[in-house]
Each structure stands twice: as C-alpha cells, then as structure tokens.
Structure 1
C-alpha cells in the first residue's frame, strides 16, 4: 500500500480497510510514513470523519504499535477511569487507591496539563521523589503491591499515539472525534484493562464546551472501546465550575489527601468520585448495583484503607514514606498566600472555569508551551462555588503565588471569572450517565 493512495482514499470519503490502517500506523511508528503524510491523513480524517469500524481499527493499530501489558497473573479485576480534563479535577488521585482498597488492580496511565486543564502527572510531580514515568518493571511491581499506580505514558505504550498527537497539535486537527477517541483508548487498551469508565467533561472549563459535543465524543468512546473488546461505560460531568475547591498542582494533592483522610470533602467532587467508582465496581462484577458500589467506596474511605493504598503507591514510586502523616510539610508551599475579594457582595451565579484554569497558568502552575517548567506550589484554593455568598467575609479564592506581580495578575483574572447576583441560580446536575 502506498501511503499517498491511503490518504487519497480517505480524502475522497471512501472507507479504509483495517489491514491498510494497520499498515499505515505501522509506518508511522517505524518512520516510513513521513510527518507530512501523517498530517495529511489527520486532516483527511478531520474533514471526512471515520466510521465506527474504521475508528476501532485505528485504535487497535495504535494499541499494537508498542507493548500491550498483560495482567493475567493477577487474580483481581484490572480497571481504570479516564477524564477528558477539567479545572480542579483531581478524581484520579482519590479513586485509584479507593478501588485498590476494594480488590481492584488500577494501572492508570495519565497525562500532563493540556491548555487550561490540569494534568494528573503534574500534580503527582509535586510529591518529592515520586517517579511519574517509571519503567514497566517498577510500574508492574507497584500495581501488584499497592493495587494501583498512576503514571505517565512510557515510550513502550502506544508510541504511534505520541507521534500522531504531536502532529495533530500543530496542524489544527486536535478536535477530531475519531482521532481523540483513538488517542485516548489506544493507551487504555495497551494498559491491559478489563473494564473502563470514562468521565467526559462539558462546560466552560472543558474542551467539549457544549452538551452536544460531549455526548458525541462520549458515544464514540464507548462504542469504540466496546468494539475493541474493552468493557466501557461513561458519565458526562459538569465543568461549569471547578470540581474541587482547589486548582493547581500541590494544592490539588493536598485537597485529595484531605479527601482520603476525611479532613475535607468537596460535595461535587465527592459525588463524581463515588459515581465513577460505583460504575467501575458494577462493570467489574464486584458490586451488584450502584448503591452497593457506593456503600463499598464509602466504607474504604471511612476505614482509612483507601488512604493507606495511596501511601503505598506514593512510597512505592519513590515518594516519602510518611507522606500521609506529613503531606503539608512535604509538599511545596508558595511564598504569597492571600485572599482575592469580590468587588461587591453577592451570590455567585456564574463561573468561567476556563478563566480560573488560565489564572493558574498565569501563576506558573501550567504551560503556555510544552517546554515550560511547572511551578508546583502555586494555584488557587478555597474557590467559591455557585450559590456561595461572597463579600467582606468570604473571598472568591485564596491565591498561592510566587510573587506580588503574579498575585495581582491572577487576582484580576479570578475576579473576571465570577458573576454575582442577588438570588441563587438554579443548580444543574453534576453528572449524566451514558450506558455501557
């Protein structure tokens, strides 16, 4: 097969054979397909789309471009969850050890921050010594011993995805639903999962800003994952306000450890975490119903077992052995921590969550370009949610800044992200279920 003929076929809206897709992706991995040809293919898919069968074949070919993990020696369900990204979304930090405490194995492959959304790996990198991109041997060891390991994509897993994503990022084809689907699922399939739950965000802080776009992506992900043999269901969750009351890196780890230890649990964050966990337990056959799954998750939180599994994971990957007991002293702290007040008193009626994510980037907690270094200490905490009354006695947020200048810039952005009124808004549900 000539690469240019393969591209021409998609350009003209014709169906691609699975064998041809596999050959093209093999060439992308080996280097025999050029960047120009990969870019042309991505644009052809962006403009012409893909059938469900084509998307399954693309996902499987990208999965098979590298190592596919095998966990057959474990006598536990191998499960994972994936979020499409949002502001204050630290669910993975809590859910992985909660599931591990209930007898699951959770080999979670996560990413770094993308645009205004925070990245799980950047958060974990704020833990001193934590190796967020270990070799496969250490990854396997920690999953076996701690029940979970949250790491980044290694060179061995779905390398075709790494190459194609880099090309999409600079050719205006990131938003293609078939390509997003294949990118997300190829890594999950390579991780050797048995069950997967997807958390697709929609709203001002999400990449899929409208419910319609979120549903299109969700239905594609669920259909392709199940078509590739991975039992999958999904929830669409609201990102019209930050999920946690913190946004940043170290501050979100602190929020997660407060959650696991019972010191503080943000209500919306708790609802999404429990709902995703209960759905996975149901898929894996460990819970007979959603209600049973919820009760199981609440029990490992109250007993402290989930927190113990987080400690085992963190220390297994190089973090402090007393992290759980002394996390506030281990995690980095910003020099400037002060409240940002609203210009008037009122009730929060609208939040631009994307603007809050951009404020974290302005503080240095995110990247403008891929080569930027992250300041793990900075961010926002005590974020006011919708219906909160703010004014002289209640700030919009606490800003954790490196210096006065960045504090001032972020304060202006935080104030601009909030709209106040006299009456509480009508609350919208935090999640919508999409069937297995």
Structure 2
C-alpha cells in the first residue's frame, strides 16, 4: 500500500474479523481504492468472508451500499413526466411476472424502468426470456430508455455497466469465493443498483422456498426488512412481499414458453398463481406511484395492458406477432401412480430446465430459447397413473436423461387429505 493512502486494507479486514465496526470514511475509501487497484482482490475476498461471519451493522451497511452507488452513475428520469415505479424479484423458477407486470402498471400512466438480468443456474433471467422474441433488443442507451418511458411507459432492458460498477466487480468475486450467502452483502448488492437506477418507488418480491435463494421464511423476512430499510433511508418508497417459491410459478419454465404464458395472462387468461402475483405486485406499485384507485385486474381483462406490452415490444425492435421458437424435440414424463399431487419441488424443476438448455452454468454460456419444462399438474390436483406430469423441451435430445433424473424426486403423490395448501403471498412489509 502506498504511504499516501489514508487507510490500510489489512486493518479493515482485521477489524471486521474481530467483530469491530467499519467507519463510513473507511468504507468509502475501501471501494474507491478497490476500483483503483490499491485494495487487492484477495484482500476484498478476505473482508467479504469476514462479513459473512460477522455481518454489518445498519450504519456500516448504509455506508457500504452508498459507496457502491457512488462508484458509478445515477440514472435521471426527471425528463419523464410521470411517476416511476420498479419491481425486483430475488429470483425463482417460472418467475415471468416482470413481463405482464410492467405492461399492467404502465397502462395506468406510471413509468416502469425495469432493469433486469440474465439467468444463472436454476433461476431464469428476464432478459433471456425477452430475447426469445424475434428482434427484441435488451441493450439500450440511457437516452433510449428515457424516450421509451415517455412514449410507451415501460421498458425492460439490461442495466448500464456504469450503474454501481463496484457491485458488479464485488459480486463476481463473491461468486467464486463462497461469500454470496450473506444478507448484508445480498441486500447491498440489490439495493445499490436499484437506488442508483433512480426510480421513485420500488416493490420487492422476496422469494422463499426450495427454488429460492432464501430457503426459510425467517431468512427471507430478514432480507426483505434489510432491503426495505436501505431503500427507505435512501429516499425511495420501498415495500416488499414475501412469496412462495416451493412450487414453480405458472405452468412453464423456460424462455420462449414463459413469454407465451405471459402473453396469455395479458390476454386475460393464464395460470391463477401468475395472475394473483401480477395483480398483487401491480397494486403495490400503483399505490406507491399515487394511483391507489387503479385496478390492475381490469387492465388485464380489457386489453389495455396488452396494448402497452405490444407497444413496448415494438419499441425495442421486437415483433409481437412473430412466432416464438419451438423445440426440436420433446419428451413426456408420466405419473407412476394415482392420487393427489401434494408436492412439486421448484428446485428440481428448475434444475431440469437448466439441464435441458434453458439456463446457464456460467454467465457467458448460451441458452436455448425453446428449452424448458411444461407442467401438466400442480399441487392439489388429482392425477392418474400414466397421466403426463411434465413435457421436456430441448433442441438437444441427449439432455433428456439428465433432466429426467432431476425430476425423479420432484413430485409426491398421495391421498387427497394429505395435500397441504401454502399461500402464494406469505407476508407483506
């Protein structure tokens, strides 16, 4: 370390290792020096591991988040003559809610700048889904985003690399050093980008269950409370729903097929759970944006949300009337016995879709637009031996065996009175 530096990375590491607190000026220096190369990758890794074990108190977490925000640019939507609202999901299986939700909320005159990501592992990515639409562009300039918000009201695109770049670099480091699983680090990673995005209000969809990052309700609630506090303290009207991810959302898991299902919802149909969560999150967003009397269910029923969706797709270069990619090969998995489907494990289904080509193991891996899993029954429904449970879809049939292997423990079939009902929305903050 240069003698001109005001602080020492080793001192920060040992302070946190021993349970001490990092002052705001030390945290500010840490990220600035990290981006300059003064703080080495191994030093940041060591500090991240210390935080996994010791945590960050509210003052440290606020400074940590602010430093990541300040490492890049902030978006400015002052030229958009409408309130802005955004939603963030912590990720799950079959979670296509962003697609109909953005269109629903925008149809009431609220601007929705939805900066989304790609899938990794068993969780799907919104950008991967949208890129299955012929011609759809997810890489937009800030000027294009603002113009589209003014003209259409909704945009779903990739975030700029200048948005919280310190988080981008730190996340890549955490991913390879076993330091992802820390509520303070997760919360600051999400909220630094969302606060820098510059939206007026934010609704968080914190998933809980086997297919979610947070497996237990207590962990999901702790993460939700932490993120709501960070957003509120930064002047963003922030609220959260904790929602179930023990079972996949809807009846499709895969990129093109999830777009297809989203369009069904926008046309006034689609699975009940996708409709329920879309409407619940839309009500939260509309209320935060000053539209408490707006009825999102009506926007789905009367076609106004569909009109906004089609306008958004066209604005981003896509063709809303084009046929979506279809798989070259399919394979049906059938029930071995008769009874009520009492469990359908989200993680197992997500892994199967991933193995079929719908997801990626590394960020640079390609995905198959038509790959995935169609579900033919959900918990609470009765099936007979031989009935189809899953249709596996892929362009590479050699993937079927490994995908079917992931589904062997995905379902439980039992007596009708053994089906335990779990609500979709577990809590609201």
TM-score range for the pair, normalised by the shorter chain length: over 0.9
**2:23 maps to what in 1?**
17
Where do 1:361-376 residues align within 5 Å? 361-376=354-369
**2:47 maps to what in 1?**
41
**2:280 maps to what in 1?**
275
Where do 1:22-101 residues align within 5 Å? 22-101=28-107
**1:414 maps to what in 2?**
407
**1:434 maps to what in 2?**
428
Q: Partner of 2:416: helix, strand, or coil?
A: coil
Q: Deviations over 1:229-261 (max 9, x none)?
A: 211111110111111110011110111111112
Distance 1:389 1:298 in 2: 29
Distance 1:73 1:120 in 2: 26
Distance 2:329 2:235 in 1: 50
Structure 1 residue 193 corresponds to structure 2 residue 192? no
Contact 1:342 1:415 in 2 (8 A): no
Where do 1:32-431 residues align within 5 Å? 32-262=38-268, 264-287=269-292, 292-293=293-294, 296-320=295-319, 323=320, 326-327=321-322, 329=323, 331-391=324-384, 394-424=387-417, 425-431=419-425
From the superposition, tell whether residues 391 and 409 of structure 1 become closer, same or farther in structure 2 (CA, over 3 Å).
farther
Distance 1:181 1:368 in 2: 23
Structure 2 gaps, min length 5: 1-6
RMSD over aligned Cα, in angstroms?
Answer: 1.6
Distance 2:14 2:369 in 1: 46
Q: What is the deviation of 1:392?
A: 5.1
Contact 2:334 2:386 in 1 (8 A): no
Q: What is the deviation of 1:432?
A: 2.6
Q: What is the deviation of 1:422?
A: 1.9
Q: Partner of 2:358: helix, strand, or coil?
A: coil
Contact 2:81 2:150 in 1 (8 A): no
Q: What is the deviation of 1:393?
A: 6.9
Q: Deviations over 1:117-157 (max 9, x none)?
A: 11111111212222212222222222222211111222111
Q: What is the deviation of 1:306?
A: 1.1
> TM-score by structure 2 length?
0.94
Q: What is the deviation of 1:354?
A: 0.2
Contact 1:28 1:163 in 2 (8 A): no
**2:4 maps to what in 1?**
none
Q: What is the deviation of 1:200?
A: 0.6
Distance 1:122 1:187 in 2: 20
Q: Partner of 2:206: helix, strand, or coil?
A: strand
Distance 2:239 2:312 in 1: 26
Q: Which moved more, 1:53-62 or 1:91-100?
A: 53-62
Q: Partner of 1:416: helix, strand, or coil?
A: coil
Distance 2:200 2:216 in 1: 30
> TM-score by structure 1 length?
0.93
Q: Deviations over 1:321-351 (max 9, x none)?
A: xx1xx34x1x211012343211122211112
Q: Partner of 1:150: helix, strand, or coil?
A: strand
Distance 2:52 2:183 in 1: 8
Distance 2:333 2:167 in 1: 41
Distance 2:208 2:52 in 1: 21
Q: Deviations over 1:67-125 (max 9, x none)?
A: 10111222211110111111000000110111111111111111111321111111112
From the superposition, tell whether residues 332 and 197 of structure 1 become closer, same or farther in structure 2 (CA, over 3 Å).
same
Structure 1 gaps, min length 5: none
Distance 1:95 1:28 in 2: 38
Q: What is the deviation of 1:383?
A: 4.0
Distance 2:180 2:286 in 1: 32
Contact 1:52 1:223 in 2 (8 A): no
